[in-house]
Amino acid sequence: SVDAQEKTLFQKIWAEEEGVVETDLKPSGYIIIGNIKYPAISDGPYIRKGEKVKVLVQRGETLVVTNKE
């Protein structure tokens, strides 16, 4: 799960950015934000292609996301 320090530093960059799952996240895959494809990993359960997600934090090159519900 995302810790408080990661979230605080990250909010300045991605701050609740939203995207759409490009490949099933089980737990990792890709999402689209705007027209750009990013590697992503689910912070919880499996997320299916086409579902909307919210970025929680960035870890290296990968965005940690959760369902936008």
Burial class from Cβ neighbours inside 10 Å (0-12, 13-18, 19+) for residue 47 reads: buried
Other CB atoms within 10 A of residue 63 CB:
22
Alpha helices in 1-69 (DSSP H): 4-11
pLDDT band at 61 (very low <50, low <70, confident <90, very high): confident
What is the average per-residue pLDDT within 45-58?
Answer: 93
8-50 residue pLDDT tens = 555 556 767 899 999 999 999 999 999 999 999 999 989 999 9
3-state SS track over 51-67: CEEEEEEEECCEEEEEE
